[in-house]
């Protein structure tokens, strides 16, 4: 299995990316991670796909992992969708014209679904979407929504914690512990 790290520039941001590839590639999976995560969390997924002759390419979103910029800051949802196009361009450059599959988890699942519905620029053969963030599990307090709209106008790059209950990310306690101890996760 070949593994390489790379960078690409988009919207005045230097993105971190990486890919894993088998010797003989029958298709490529473009992986889009979830909120507070980074591409390195998916090494086990990449290894499984490589074992079945699929290359996997991933990147760290705006404000995540090893991508430049303020942690937690996202300049806009449309730019998130465009960054997926940029990652697909990188994949085609690296692997050539092969079948393209998208894989998104959580927030990445939301981005993959919306990319397919609104921004699709490439022929996508299929999509894998796990635990997609399609709606809030609770209604945020009105004061928090009002404060968020106010702060968006006053200080658009302010970041706040995601209030994720890490005990709920997995039934595997070792996975939860690993998640909490990873310095690139944004859990607070």
Per-residue HEC secondary structure of 2-66 comes to EEEEEEEEECCEEEEEEEEECCCCCEEEEEECCCCCCHHHHHHHHHHHHHCCEEEEEECCCCCCC
Residue extents of the structural domains in the chain: 2-138
Mean pLDDT (10-residue bins), the chain, 188 residues: 97 97 98 94 96 98 94 90 96 96 96 91 92 84 85 76 74 84 71
> Domain 2-138 class?
alpha beta
């Amino acid at each position: 299995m070949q593994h390489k790290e790379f960078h690409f520039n988009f919207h005045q941001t230097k993105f971190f990316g990486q890919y894993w590839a088998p010797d003989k590639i029958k298709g490529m999976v473009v992986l889009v991670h979830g909120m507070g995560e980074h591409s390195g969390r998916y090494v086990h997924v990449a290894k499984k796909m490589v074992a079945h002759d699929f290359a996997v390419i991933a990147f760290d979103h705006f404000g995540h992992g090893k991508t430049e910029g303020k942690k937690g800051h996202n300049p806009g949802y449309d730019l998130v969708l465009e960054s997926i196009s940029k990652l697909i361009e990188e994949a085609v450059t690296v692997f050539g014209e092969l079948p393209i599959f998208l894989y998104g988890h959580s927030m990445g699942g939301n981005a993959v679904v919306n990319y397919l519905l609104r921004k699709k620029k490439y022929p996508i053969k299929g999509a894998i979407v796990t635990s997609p963030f399609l709606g809030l599990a609770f209604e945020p307090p009105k004061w928090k929504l009002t404060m968020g709209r106010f702060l968006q106008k006053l200080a658009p790059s302010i970041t706040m914690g995601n209030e994720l209950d890490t005990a709920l990310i997995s039934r595997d306690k070792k996975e939860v512990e690993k998640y909490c101890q990873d310095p690139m996760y944004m859990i607070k």
